Amino acid sequence: MNRAHEAVHDEFFGNYDYYWLKYSIERGAAEKAERLLAGHSLSRFGVIDRDIPGLINLSFFSQDYYYSFKIAEKALKEIPSLKHVILGTGYISAYMDLSRAQSRNELDRIVRVYGRYFNDIHNMDPSLYQSMRAAAFPDGGMPADGIRENELRAIYDEIKENYFCHERSRQSLLDILWNAPIPEAERFRLAGKRTDYHNRLLSHRESYTENTGILQRLADLCKKKGVSLSMIVFPANRYYRQTLDPGLKEGYMRQLGLIPVEARPLLMDLFASQAFDPVTDFADTDHLNDCGAAKMTAMLKELPDG
């Protein structure tokens, strides 16, 4: 790989989700996509995009309801052929706000993806955003000199059928190898570590209240556009389910129930589905691997559009 090609490669894969968002919306318009899937990592890991004709999957790590709404709003404007918006969720989704994250790695997703694409940082501190943006994009958020748009688009076109390409496998994006021979006690320990973090989201009352309004706005938008809206709670394995605070589900369902019946999304709740093996279908405690994603994709294909 010569230096020029290396620069194009680094720009694209260093800002992967930004280009995936940008070019997928353009692709959806050109190909007259009929289904949009938005959400966080559960719906990114849990679906094999290429196996569902007419679907564009714009789920990304840590995407909250606010940015799912922004994506749906943009897609419904740019892709008039859309018939169905699907929101991929977990019970924790009701309490998430990416812009209030404490981790700079999480906030970097706003810097590199949503702030750059939508020019919208939600509740993120503006001075922190500016300092992180300056560090991430010394050239002001533009590709480096000599990198042309058509070169970046060419990389996308090569891999557009599969977000998990040779550069980014499902397993490479996670910290553990769940299919390895791990003792039961260790699996429960790992799950407990994960749910301990998720259970603390219950205290995020301000985010919960804001998300209730955002979900209502999304339902109203889809109703106004004559587009179906569905929500999927993705499966988690029994190790994770055992230690997740039931209050998260209660809050999730209560929030959904506040939407008037005439606009309320269809809910597919697969959280405790027995169709998924707790070890061989998962990449970790709550993300599906290739085998699990194949099962989930088959179910999603059967989800009615109206």
Taking only the tens place, the pLDDT of each residue in 32-70 is 999 999 999 999 999 999 999 999 999 999 999 999 999
Please indicate, yes or no, if residue 81 is contained in any of the structural domains. Answer: yes
The pLDDT value recorded for residue 149 is: 87
Angle subtended by helix axes 246-257 and 205-225, to nearest 10: 40
Please indicate, yes or no, if residue 160 is contained in any of the structural domains. Answer: yes
Indicate the DSSP class of residue 288: B
Total Cβ atoms within 10 A of residue 156: 17
CATH of the domain at 11: 3.40.50.1110
Please indicate, yes or no, if residue 255 is contained in any of the structural domains. Answer: yes
Please indicate, yes or no, if residue 306 is contained in any of the structural domains. Answer: no
Please indicate, yes or no, if residue 135 is contained in any of the structural domains. Answer: yes
Q: Which of 209, 194, 199, 212 is nearest to 247 (CA)?
A: 199
List of the chain residues with pLDDT < 70: 1-4, 140-146, 306
Enclosing domain of residue 25: 3-301
- C-alpha distances (whole Å) from 277 to each of 1, 281, 291 are 42, 5, 10
Please indicate, yes or no, if residue 274 is contained in any of the structural domains. Answer: yes
The pLDDT value recorded for residue 142 is: 62
The pLDDT value recorded for residue 143 is: 64
pTM for the model stands at 0.95
- The number of domains in the chain is 1
The pLDDT value recorded for residue 255 is: 98
Q: Which residues contact 47 (CB under 8 A, 6 or more apart)?
A: 37, 55, 57, 59, 88, 293, 296, 297, 300
Please indicate, yes or no, if residue 14 is contained in any of the structural domains. Answer: yes
Indicate the DSSP class of residue 285: S
The pLDDT value recorded for residue 146 is: 57
Taking only the tens place, the pLDDT of each residue in 202-221 is 999 999 999 999 999 999 99
The residues with which 229 forms a beta bridge, in sequence order, are 85
